[in-house]
Structure 1
Amino acid sequence: MALVRIDGDNLVVVIEGLGKLWALKGSLAIPLANVRGATADPGIATEPKGIRAPGSHLPGVITAGTFHQDGEKVFWDVRDPSKAVVVELADERYARLVLQVDDPRATVALIENALPERR
């Protein structure tokens, strides 16, 4: 699971527990200027992921790490798709982040309310 917070002008994602091991990443910091938006999307887990490198994927159990699809990199950390949030990015290493969070609605509101064009 991921903890998402706003720290100054950055979106900070901290991967918790064994997720760090599976995703091969402990945290990400993204400038809010490069965040296009966020949505809760429990259905995303059924979509094709692309090529995993590096990371872990056991269908129906865990999707974590970097996946390459259609020339883009997507970071995943999801075990429970009902709690999935998708964060769309621009001008970053990843085109989007797909994260499992405790409260998808609250996480989306936190991100959307922090975006520069929405202040």
Structure 2
Amino acid sequence: MPVVTLTNSTLHVEMSFWERVGSLSSNISIPLTSVVHATDDPTFIRHGLGFRVGGTGMPGFIAEGHFRKNGNRIFANWRRGEQVVVIELQGQKWDKLAIGCTDAKALATEINTAIAGLANN
């Protein structure tokens, strides 16, 4: 599963070699100023990601790559058994990131706290 880390100014999504191959992407770095909000949304993957533009996907089992749904560009890296955190972005290549993790609620809280801290500085 991808590893999401935060610095003072950047959100990093680091993927294993096979996750990068499956998603047809490299590791992702997003400035925190471009992160709007993060939520833990257990239904996001279940409701479908839309049209897969590139990557690997098998509904209910794996979603890795680039998707389009309702005009949104979505990058997903999720496998069955993982929780999903949805990170909304502005002014970036993707509108949303759907990232698999072990504790989506804690990760969403950590991201939102970092965004709020950035806004207060």
Q: Which runs of 4+ in 1 moved over 3 A?
A: none
Decide whether the 8 Å contact of 1:45 with 1:81 is kept in 2.
no
Residue 70 (structure 2) aligns with:
70
Match status 1:114 vs 2:86? no
Identical amino acids, percent of aligned pairs: 28
**1-structure distance, mates of 2:2, 2:120:** 24
Q: TM-score, normalised by structure 2?
A: 0.88
Instruction: Give the letter aligned to residue 117 of structure 1.
Output: A
> Which residue number in structure 1 is paired with residue 87 of structure 2?
87
CA RMSD of aligned residues (A): 1.7
Deviation at 1:92, TM superposition (A): 0.9
User: In the TM superposition, what is the alpha-carbon distance from 1:117 to its structure 2 partner?
Assistant: 2.3
**Per-residue Cα deviation, 1:10-47 (whole angstroms, up to 9, x for no partner):** 11111235222211123111110110111111111121
User: Structure 1 residues 106, 58: closer, same or farther in 2, change over 3 A?
Assistant: same
**TM-score (norm. length: structure 1):** 0.89
CA distance in structure 1 between the aligned counterparts of 2:42 and 2:11, rounded to whole angstroms: 21
CA contact (8 A) 2:2 2:101 kept: yes
Q: Which residue of 1 aligns with 2:60?
A: 60
Equivalent residue letter for 2:94: Y
Whole-angstrom CA distance in 2 between matches of 1:47 and 1:81: 16
Deviation at 1:81, TM superposition (A): 5.9
Question: Cα offset for 1:118?
Answer: 5.5
Taking the TM superposition and a 5 Å limit, the aligned residue runs for 1:15-54 are 15-54=15-54
- Specify every segment of 5 or more residues in structure 1 that has no aligned partner in the other structure, as ranges: none
